[in-house]
């Protein structure tokens, strides 16, 4: 082979050897996975023992089409919340409810010899509770309140089973 040809072949071998020994191009590193968004803290729900006990309940019910009756201070009535699970949950209530006894003048009908009507209660997120009891004509009433130290404050709601209407009747406050 002529010298010139050998040089070309030799150059080709050197080039191919140089190319084959060169490190292969590195793939770009995969981006680090994005950090998972912080999960929102779970809603704090009261332990049943926190609101359990005997309460003195005061309700202020709005008159039909007007403000609460003036000149009369609403009487305190008993509200008892226990941490004993109810045997049968009430309509619309979660499966785990607890026993309660409530008296709201004009809306509850305690059995003879009792100071209050049977009810059920359950905790909801945010240190709150719902106390539910049967009202007249198969309707339901709820006390929806928040526990603040030794006080329970909130709203009185009426739930009509016939029409599906739900409306606020007034407010309540209870103390131990």
- 115, pLDDT greater than 80: yes
Of the candidate ranges 8-17, 52-61, 117-126, the one whose mean pLDDT is the lowest? 8-17
Per-residue pLDDT at 80: 97
Write out pLDDT tens, residues 116-127. 999 999 999 889
For residues 96 and 125, is the Cβ–Cβ distance under 8 A? Answer: no
What's this model's pTM, rounded to 2 decimal places?
A: 0.71
* CA dist 58 → 29, 66, 87, 137 (Å): 67, 19, 28, 24
Domain 53-175 has CATH 2.60.120: no
- 33, pLDDT greater than 90: no
- CA nearest neighbour of 48 among 144, 148, 127: 127
| Average pLDDT of the residues in 131-147 | 93
Domain boundaries, the chain: 53-175
């Amino acid at each position: 082979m002529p010298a010139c040809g050998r040089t070309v072949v030799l150059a080709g071998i050197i080039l191919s050897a140089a190319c084959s020994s060169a490190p292969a191009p590195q793939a770009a590193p995969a981006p680090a996975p994005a950090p998972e968004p912080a999960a929102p803290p779970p809603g704090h729900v009261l332990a049943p023992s926190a609101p359990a006990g005997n309460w003195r309940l005061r309700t202020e019910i709005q008159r039909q089409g007007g403000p609460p009756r003036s000149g009369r201070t609403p009487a305190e009535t008993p509200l008892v919340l226990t941490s004993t699970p109810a045997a049968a949950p009430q309509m619309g209530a979660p499966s785990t409810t607890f026993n309660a006894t409530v008296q709201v003048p004009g809306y509850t009908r305690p059995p003879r010899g009792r100071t209050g009507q049977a009810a059920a209660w359950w905790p909801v997120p945010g240190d709150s509770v719902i106390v539910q009891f049967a009202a007249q004509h198969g309707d339901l009433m709820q006390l929806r309140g928040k526990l603040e130290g030794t006080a329970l404050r909130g709203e009185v709601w009426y739930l009509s089973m016939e029409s599906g209407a739900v409306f606020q009747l007034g407010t309540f406050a209870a103390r131990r």
